[in-house]
């Protein structure tokens, strides 16, 4: 498997891949029409990818020149902030989508990310990991996860952290030696999804 830094020339392929990978994700389950949900989610995922790529955090994964996945890995202490999203075009979101729908989706994201607040900002953060749907279950996810670990090691990082909202992903990260150290249940934050925090010590 080959890994290369993503560029903005790759953004349409990445946006499609992220949407296909996350359109049924529990975190983004809100009560709106399918058309509004599709448009808003696509634009939000695209925005996140643009912000990551502009910072140099996005990576494409290939096998025999075939795109099989994408991940975004944020160095410790360098999280994507409001300015990064503005530079990526966040101001366009209300013009491109339903403001109410976008706000609902972003509210879900903020509820999930709240699980990270108690932890020191000494970790690298795996913001996104997605495998082309037709290639899921073929071991690519574990290989991409190892590539992320290798990048952390290469850059002298000590800890890799991530969150997930899907039971299948929880099991996947557990299988790959990540440790679950926090959980937020739907009753804890008035949501309809569960959030798990995982970390892996690479030192």
Domain ranges of the chain: 2-201
Which pLDDT score is estimated for 138? 80
Starting at the edge strand found earlier in the chain, the sheet holding 179-184 runs: 2-5, 58-63, 66-74, 124-131, 159-164, 195-201, 179-184
Which pLDDT score is estimated for 137? 72
What's the rounded mean pLDDT across residues 152-169? 94
Is 179's pLDDT higher than 80? Answer: yes
Which pLDDT score is estimated for 58? 98
What does pLDDT average to over the chain?
94
> How many other C-beta atoms can be found within 10 angstroms of the C-beta atom of residue 107?
12
pLDDT tens sequence across 7-39: 999 999 999 999 999 999 999 999 999 999 999
Which pLDDT score is estimated for 2? 94
pLDDT tens sequence across 102-151: 999 999 999 999 999 999 999 999 999 999 988 777 889 999 999 999 99
How far apart (Å, rounded) are the C-alpha atoms in residues 93 and 43?
Answer: 7
Which pLDDT score is estimated for 49? 97
> How many other C-beta atoms can be found within 10 angstroms of the C-beta atom of residue 78?
14
What's the rounded mean pLDDT across residues 81-99? 92
Query: In terms of CATH architecture, what is 2-201?
Result: 3-Layer(aba) Sandwich (3.40)
CB-CB contact of 202 with 153 (8 Å): yes
CB-CB contact of 30 with 37 (8 Å): yes
């Amino acid at each position: 498997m080959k890994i290369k830094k993503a560029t903005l020339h790759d953004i349409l392929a990445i946006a499609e891949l992220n949407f296909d990978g996350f359109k049924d994700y529990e975190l983004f389950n809100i009560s709106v029409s399918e058309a509004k949900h599709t448009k808003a989610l696509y634009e939000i995922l695209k925005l996140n990818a643009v912000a990551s790529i502009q910072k140099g955090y996005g990576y494409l994964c290939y096998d025999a020149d075939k795109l099989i996945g994408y991940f975004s890995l944020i160095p410790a202490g360098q999280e994507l902030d409001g300015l990064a999203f503005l530079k990526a075009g966040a101001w366009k979101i209300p013009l491109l989508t339903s403001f109410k729908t976008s706000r609902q989706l972003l509210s879900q994201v903020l509820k999930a990310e709240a699980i990270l607040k108690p932890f020191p900002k000494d970790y690298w953060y795996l913001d996104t990991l997605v495998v082309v749907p037709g290639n899921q279950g073929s071991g690519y996810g574990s290989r991409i996860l190892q590539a992320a670990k290798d990048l952390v090691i290469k850059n002298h990082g000590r800890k890799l952290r991530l969150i997930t909202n899907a039971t299948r992903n929880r099991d996947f990260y557990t299988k790959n030696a990540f440790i679950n150290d926090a959980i937020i249940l739907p009753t804890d934050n008035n949501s309809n999804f569960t959030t798990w925090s995982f970390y892996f010590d690479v030192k």
